[in-house]
Amino acid sequence: MHDIEPFYSWRHLYIAADDDRSPFFKRNYSEFEFTQAIYNYFIHPQWDEIGSSTLYIKILYANYDKGFVIIEMIGEWNDCLHNDIMYFKRNIIEPLIAGGIDKFILIGENVMNYFSSDDDDYYQEWFDEIEDGWIVAINFRDHVIDEFTDARIDYYIAFGGHFNSLDWRIYNPDHLYERINSLITKRLSM
């Protein structure tokens, strides 16, 4: 896992450590010192911790004028044992909402598992706070999508179908947003 880097081709457009509205503003990164691990497997030092021992993220791009953010994720999303949604919601999502973000694109190719809890309060709270916005999960693994479905979080997060086969790396961030916004608009109008 230590060689899985967050997507870096948009760094000339956005760096979370340089964004004063980002939860990672002024964060310093090491290119060589591996200090973070998921279940004793070191991960690349460019990933950001959210307070969870199993889930890390990278804010790849934020556009406050259009109100969207693109977040790449790695690890295990475990609400059952580690309450990862609480850490994600409180430490990352809330500051972004306060900065004007109401549309969230979550990239999950490197999320290996999802374990739900019996409580969906944080998902509902997040969904309620963004009113006219949306949350879309793209390219999560099929078994993770099945776990999302079993947990019934599809009321709060759009996933599967076109969202699960999107070649997002071919887009620049604004075009990816436009593509997803178009898909979500079509889905909501059905």
Q: What is the 3-state secondary structure (H, E, C) of 116-158?
A: CCCCCHHHHHHHHHCCCCEEEEECCCHHHHHHHHHHCHHHCCE
The pLDDT value given to residue 86: 96
pLDDT band at 188 (very low <50, low <70, confident <90, very high): low
Task: State in words which class domain 16-189 has.
Answer: alpha beta
Task: Name the average pLDDT for the chain.
Answer: 92
Please tell me the predicted confidence (pLDDT) of residue 43: 83
66 pLDDT band, cuts 50/70/90, is: very high
Mean predicted confidence (pLDDT) in 132-159: 95
Q: How far is Cα 104 from Cα 120, in angstroms, rounded to an integer?
A: 18
pLDDT bucket at 4, cuts 50 / 70 / 90: confident
Read off the pTM.
0.94
pLDDT above 80 (res 3) = no
pLDDT at 32 over 90: no
48 φ/ψ angles, rounded to the nearest 5 degrees: -105, 140
CB 3 within 8 A of CB 44: yes
The average pLDDT across 139-146 equals 96
Q: What proportion of the chain, given as a percentage, has pLDDT over 90?
A: 77
Q: Where exactly are the structural domains of the chain?
A: 16-189
Q: Of the candidates 88, 54, 90, 53, which has an alpha carbon nearest to the alpha carbon of residue 71?
A: 88
**28-42 burial: b if 16+ Cβ within 10 Å, else e:** eeeeeeeebebeeee
Q: Tell me the chain's radius of gyration from C-alpha atoms.
A: 16
Q: Is 59 exposed, middle or buried (0-12, 13-18, 19+ CB in 10 A)?
A: buried
Q: Is 23 helix (H, G, I), strand (E, B) or coil?
A: coil
pLDDT for the residue 34 = 75
